[in-house]
Amino acid sequence: MFDKRIPLFSLFGFKVGVDISWFILAVLVTWSLARGLFPFYFEGFSAATYWWMGAAGAIGLFLSIIFHEFCHSLVARRFGMPMKGITLFIFGGVAEMNEEPPSAKAELLMAAAGPASSVVFAGLLFLTHAAAQVVNWPAPVNAVLIYLAWLNIILAVFNLVPAFPLDGGRILRAILWAAKKDVRWATRIASRLGSAFGIFLTVLGVISFIGGNFIGGLWYFLIGMFIRAAAQSSYREMLIRQTLSGEPVGRFMQKDPATVPPSISISELVEDYFYRYHYKMFPVTTGDHLEGCVSTKEIKDVPKNEWNSRHVADIEKSCSDENTIAPQSDATAALALMNRTGNSRLMVVEEGRLAGIITLKDLLKFLALKLDLEENEQIALPT
């Protein structure tokens, strides 16, 4: 999801980062507060005061979302679910999980922790606002506090809408999962409701836009499109994980892949391998020993007039955890690695020896065939 994630800090072992799209939200929130909400509800302040109130409101939103997602992550950790971290982006924030919850109870408690945390945070802000009035804090400070308190209430209520992957949708999935003992069925129902809610918001956005509410309509439309896409992708990812879970990488690997000797020239490499097989990466081997790999990226870094004089050994890249995997590893681990690194081919390595190559294409072919034959499921797979 997040191709341009900027790390910010770590909190109790959770890495907090921000997607570059978050800065768009920060600017829009600051502007709308400084030029719209605060001047409308709290009159009599200077333009500069409204701007710092808007900035404070945006920072408060940042902290509110972090606290909300942090509570999700704490409960997830309690149930042994590995969390990659918390990332803020244009539509809020997300606690990134590597796998599905182990039980309906874990799903329920993890999902409920978010809205509950927002209500608690709102209560603390209401109490702080009340205390600030007693001790006569500046009026602009009180205005920001009461805004943030109500913002957290709205955040809690919105997240309780039973539309997957919102927290309310996850709570619904947990209830359905517990009732029927079928997480796939529960996810399908909750995802369909999430998709329907997304369509509703999209239509509402169009109606608002036509009615003259340009900014509000645009946000309804964008959030609706995002929720619909997230609902569909969440269901697809769950199906992929369930279908591939427990399947070893060795089952899918090509056992006799094309390999490149380190002694050939770059010109020979391009003509005899890249133009012949149409892959973007090849293992470099001497006998059955894996020395590294070479890809189109390394070739493009070499001027074409040097291709005849330079050899594969000059440009090959060392093996690493980014491009190799063990044959006994779970296929879901291979898919996750491909997704994280952008590599569509991984070298399968056993004790320094190249055992084979596993490709995204082969994994997706198996996935589509198994769903078609055994589950009668039709989903749009990633390419």
- In SS3 terms, the chain reads as CCCCEEEEEEECCEEEEEECCHHHHHHHHHHHHHHHHHHHHCCCCCHHHHHHHHHHHHHHHHHHHHHHHHHHHHHHHHCCCCEEEEEEECCEEEEEECCCCCCHHHHHHHHHHHHHHHHHHHHHHHHHHHHHHHCCCCHHHHHHHHHHHHHHHHHHHHHCCCCCCCHHHHHHHHHHHHHHCCHHHHHHHHHHHHHHHHHHHHHHHHHHHHCCCHHHHHHHHHHHHHHHHHHHHHHHHHHHHHHHCCCEHHHCCECCCCCECCCCEHHHHHHHHHHHHCCCEEEEEECCEEEEEEEHHHHHCCCHHHCCCCEHHHHCECCCCCCEECCCCEHHHHHHHHHHHCCCEEEEEECCEEEEEEEHHHHHHHHHHHHHHHHCCCCCCCC
Q: Are residues 10 and 139 in the same domain?
A: yes
Query: Above 70 in pLDDT, residue 153?
Result: yes
Q: Are residues 275 and 235 in the same domain?
A: no
Tokens found for residue 148? 């943030």
Query: Above 70 in pLDDT, residue 98?
Result: no
Lowest mean pLDDT among 63-67, 229-233, 300-304: 229-233
- Alpha-carbon distances of 81 from 62, 72, 98, 114, 217, rounded to whole Å: 24, 11, 8, 16, 37
Asked if 91 contacts 223 with a C-beta cutoff of 8 angstroms, the reply is yes
Q: Are residues 28 and 97 in the same domain?
A: yes
Asked if 107 contacts 174 with a C-beta cutoff of 8 angstroms, the reply is yes
Residue 273 within any structural domain of the chain: yes
- What pLDDT, on the 0 to 100 scale, is given for residue 140? 94
pLDDT in tens, 320-355: 888 899 999 988 888 888 877 888 889 999 988 999
Q: Are residues 93 and 11 in the same domain?
A: yes
Q: Are residues 176 and 266 in the same domain?
A: no
Question: What backbone torsions phi and psi does residue 241 show, to the nearest 5 degrees?
Answer: -60, -45
User: Residue 274's domain spans which residues?
Assistant: 249-375
Domain count, the chain: 2
Residue 293 within any structural domain of the chain: yes
Among residues 221, 244, 267, which one ends one of the domains?
244
More confident residue, 205 or 91: 205
- What pLDDT, on the 0 to 100 scale, is given for residue 18? 81
Provide the edge-to-edge strand list for the sheet that holds 92-97.
Answer: 5-11, 14-19, 83-89, 92-97
Residue 380 within any structural domain of the chain: no
Tokens found for residue 256? 């006799």
Q: Are residues 292 and 192 in the same domain?
A: no
Rounded percentage of the chain residues whose pLDDT exceeds 90? 49
Can the peptide bond before residue 140 be classed as cis, meaning omega within 30 degrees of 0? no
Q: Are residues 226 and 257 in the same domain?
A: no
| CB atoms inside a 10 Å sphere around CB 157 | 13
Asked if 10 contacts 16 with a C-beta cutoff of 8 angstroms, the reply is yes
Cα 272 from Cα 293, distance rounded (Å) = 16
Among residues 244, 274, 301, which one ends one of the domains?
244
Among residues 210, 244, 278, which one ends one of the domains?
244
- What pLDDT, on the 0 to 100 scale, is given for residue 273? 94
Does residue 298 carry a catalytic annotation?
Answer: no
Q: Are residues 111 and 223 in the same domain?
A: yes
Give mean pLDDT, residues 166-170. Answer: 92
Q: Are residues 277 and 178 in the same domain?
A: no
pLDDT in tens, 41-54: 898 999 999 999 99
Residue 141 within any structural domain of the chain: yes
Residue of 43, 69, 96, 351 marked catalytic = 69
